[in-house]
Amino acid sequence: MAKKILLKDIAEEVGVSIALVSYVLNNKKTDKINPNTSKKILETARKKKYVPNRIAQSLKASKTFTIGLIVADISNFFYSYIARHIEEEANRYNYNVLYGSAYEDPERFRKILQVMLSRQVDGLILAIPDGAEDCIPELKRMKLPFVVIDRQFPQYKNYMRVSLDNYNASRKVMEMFISKGACRPGAIGLKTNLSHLQERKQGFTETARKFLPANSIFSYEVNESRMETEMAELVKKAVLQDRVDALCFFTNKIAMAGLPHLLKHKIKIPERLQVICFDETNAYNLFPYPLVYVKQPLEEMSKLAVRCLIDENQKAKTGVYKFDGELISL
Amino acid sequence: MAKKILLKDIAEEVGVSIALVSYVLNNKKTDKINPNTSKKILETARKKKYVPNRIAQSLKASKTFTIGLIVADISNFFYSYIARHIEEEANRYNYNVLYGSAYEDPERFRKILQVMLSRQVDGLILAIPDGAEDCIPELKRMKLPFVVIDRQFPQYKNYMRVSLDNYNASRKVMEMFISKGACRPGAIGLKTNLSHLQERKQGFTETARKFLPANSIFSYEVNESRMETEMAELVKKAVLQDRVDALCFFTNKIAMAGLPHLLKHKIKIPERLQVICFDETNAYNLFPYPLVYVKQPLEEMSKLAVRCLIDENQKAKTGVYKFDGELISL
DNA sequence: GACAAAAATTTAATCGTTTAAATAAAACTA
DNA sequence: TAGTTTTATTTAAACGATTAAATTTTTGTC
């Protein structure tokens, strides 16, 4: 590293104190500074390409202008899209984003969280994995602002969260299935305790029960870690054995794993099988049959999450936001 | 924010100096510290959940253990996948990743770069947009370690870069087209000066010329910003008007925009049209026809980029790495 | 029990800023 | 021309850690 230009260097060159340089560059005390001195300082700073050391500033101010973002997996479209909008909104407030992927591993999550705390982030946006939810009371005790996205943990109250209204979204899914004549609807979810996925399942099943007998409603679950291998069997069971005539994939990852098998079995969509997927991705455009998907307003949700941390007006509010999913037909 | 625990707090509780607490917690001078004192300090630190302030450490050490990553767009699968592996590898060395998206805008890129410099990142991994390449000599002058990924700028020498061997990858694409009987091959690229895309075009065209007359080789270009709208026309022109019998999409984004139009026109693939796309994505699995794609070894490339910045052994080397693309048939 | 050596701990400077308070210089007042 | 204001600038402490050097305490030796 070449020597960096410090306030000291500018001060020496101009022949004034470091403090004065700082005042000028920060536009403080402007009324009491000799315009000539001011001009000289400004010029020298530009000439030497002075870049303030944010680390020193952060230490002094006890504020880093950094938001920590922990997602499950940044290479998952769902989270990378969120990350994009979080960064955009954060930038608007001159904040930056430090990010980490926990891969649904609570231990990893805790470790990343610890690192973010040690780096003095001003706030956190978290997709908490199953088993790491005890960070919620802990963070509250520390009074560090945080927002939980995507997920929620009903055992804890009074924490900020931004998520889809999952129950209602699933209800809409089922209602569309029914309205188009489904008699044996099914859904594929994840083996997990995460309540947002439980809610999707509940909304789906409970709505179905209003219209159909219990033995013609189907529900399947795959292991997050063995999705690729289990999916082949599961789709076969659902479509060929249980003969479901409507199938919902509860996450985009499940959809991406499941849809190819529908292709393989040459299932006619939507005549033989209606399909609805959660989450939006342009990958669906490569699928040769009409798909329906649940669009989450990710951009708004992401931006709101950032504002919950940064914006004083927003902060004041209660901080529990549920967004409506929208069914989009391709 | 609740009051944070500092070394001072531990020192006061145990009744020793701050320095001693620091020595103990950092395992320095271990041989000269009273084991009893040491134990007391360690216990108190744990009891009070002391978390060292990395900002203060960074200031003192002039080292932040942070890598800055600037990509075009984190929500583009190509970059989010890279980001994932960069983060993983960085974590292995106890580094964290500060990231930014420049959206191919040189101004935005410069601004983000400036912020990263002010945040004293220890190194940078950059996908530099067309028009911002003058950062290369500048960063070299500053002697801040940086690695350029994906792209390259032949007008500059002696900077670290990790990328695909684009010329060769395109050559392979064309050779496969030819070997399968293509007579009128075409490719869709981007209107850009970025040399890695120029190389893809060159490799493609120059290889084609060895086998075919110039008037049966086709090349198209879309505007990055108007891809969706232009693509409809372009595909129609290529496939229906120019009647190409082999089509290469030079980036995954172009492929994602172009493939749906092939579906729309019910083009028979590969009988009527062979298709090869750059980059890997599981979205291709939703496409009902056999696709071939150029797989870049993104994981290795990402990890190497990180090691170029961090690893002393790696650093010593020349720092120009070209990776081979691999044709994968789905 | 005096002195040296070894062990244990503390002092104080430092990293690069910010900023309240002190001071110096210039301008005004009577 | 001394005193007061106003303007301009500097001093010094602080942020929270690290660490070389200094100091104190303990132990060992003859």
Taking CB atoms and an 8 Å limit, are A119 and B142 in contact across chains? no
For chain A, 330 residues long, give each residue's pLDDT as a single digit of tens: 788 999 999 999 999 999 999 999 998 877 788 999 999 999 999 999 999 999 999 999 999 999 999 999 999 999 999 999 999 999 999 999 999 999 999 999 999 999 999 999 999 999 999 999 999 999 999 999 999 999 999 999 999 999 999 999 999 999 999 999 989 999 999 999 899 999 999 999 999 999 989 899 999 999 988 998 999 999 999 989 999 999 999 999 999 999 999 999 999 999 999 999 999 999 999 999 999 999 999 999 999 999 999 987 776 567 899 999 999 998
Tell which wins on pLDDT, B151 or B314.
B151
Asked if pLDDT for residue B31 goes beyond 80, the answer is no
Percent of chain B with pLDDT over 90: 89
pLDDT value at position B316? 58
**Is residue B249 classed as helix, strand or coil in its secondary structure?**
strand
Task: Let me know the angle formed at the C-alpha of B271 by B269 and B274, rounded to the nearest 5 degrees.
Answer: 55
Bridge-based pairing state of the strands A326-329 and A185-190: unpaired
- Which nucleotide is closest to the Cα of B34 by its C1'? C8
Cα A25 to Cα A23: distance, rounded to the nearest angstrom: 6
Instruction: Report the nearest residue to nucleotide C16, CA vs C1'.
Output: A56
pLDDT value at position A126? 97
B238 has a chain A CB within 8 A of its CB:
no
- Which nucleotide is closest to the Cα of A120 by its C1'? D16
Percent of chain B with pLDDT over 70: 99
Residue A189 parent element (H or E) = strand A185-190
CB-based contact B292:B328 (threshold 8 Å): yes
Cα B238 to Cα B218: distance, rounded to the nearest angstrom: 8
pLDDT value at position B330? 85
CB contacts of B88 in chain A (<8 Å) are 101
Whole-number distance in Å between A32 CA and D7 C1': 6
Side-chain half-sphere CA neighbours of B257 within 13 A? 24
pLDDT value at position B317? 66
Asked if pLDDT for residue B315 goes beyond 70, the answer is no
CB contacts of A263 in chain B (<8 Å) are 286, 288
Whole-number distance in Å between B2 CA and C13 C1': 30
Closest chain B residue to A265, measured at CA:
B288
pLDDT value at position B109? 97
Q: Encode pLDDT of B119-164 as tens digits.
A: 999 999 999 999 999 999 999 999 999 999 999 999 999 999 999 9
Whole-number distance in Å between B202 CA and D13 C1': 64
Cα B281 to Cα B285: distance, rounded to the nearest angstrom: 8
Amino acid letter, residue A55: I
B240 has a chain A CB within 8 A of its CB:
no
Given the structure tokens 């609570």, which residue do they identify? A106
Give the largest CA-CA distance in chain B: 87
Q: Which own/partner pairs from A82-85 qualify as long-range (CB within 8 Å, at least 24 positions apart)?
A: A82/A149, A82/A150, A82/A298, A82/A301, A82/A302, A83/B74, A83/B75, A83/B80, A84/A302, A84/B73, A84/B74, A84/B75, A84/B101, A85/A298, A85/A299, A85/A302, A85/A303
Asked if pLDDT for residue B303 goes beyond 90, the answer is yes
Residue in A161, A175, A172, A164 with CA at minimum distance from that of residue A133:
A161
Asked if pLDDT for residue B254 goes beyond 90, the answer is yes
Non-local (6+) Cβ contacts of B169 within 8 A are B200, B203, B278, B294, B324, B325
Cα B255 to Cα B281: distance, rounded to the nearest angstrom: 10
Chain mean position to CA A58: 26
- How many other C-beta atoms can be found within 10 angstroms of the C-beta atom of residue B122? 18
pLDDT value at position B311? 83
Cα B107 to Cα B119: distance, rounded to the nearest angstrom: 19
- How many other C-beta atoms can be found within 10 angstroms of the C-beta atom of residue B94? 9
CB contacts of A232 in chain B (<8 Å) are none
**Least CB–CB distance from B51: residue in A81, A84, A117:** A117
**What are the angstrom distances between the C-alpha of B204 and each of B166, B186, B280, B291, B314?**
10, 9, 19, 18, 33
Q: Encode pLDDT of B80-125 as tens digits.
A: 999 999 999 999 999 999 999 999 999 999 999 999 999 999 999 9
pLDDT value at position A303? 96
Given the structure tokens 């070449």, which residue do they identify? A2
Residue in A79, A135, A115, A55 with CA at minimum distance from that of residue A305:
A79
Q: Encode pLDDT of B176-224 as tens digits.
A: 999 999 899 999 999 998 999 999 999 999 998 999 898 989 999 999 8
pLDDT value at position B242? 92
Cα B99 to Cα B88: distance, rounded to the nearest angstrom: 14
> Which range is least confidently modeled, B44-58, B204-218, B304-318?
B304-318
- Burial class of residue A60 (count of CB atoms within 10 Å of its CB; 0-12, 13-18, 19+): exposed
Q: Could you say which residues 1-30 of protein chain A have a Cβ atom less than 7 A away from any atom in strand D?
A: 15-20, 23, 29
Cα A125 to Cα A302: distance, rounded to the nearest angstrom: 9
pLDDT value at position B313? 72
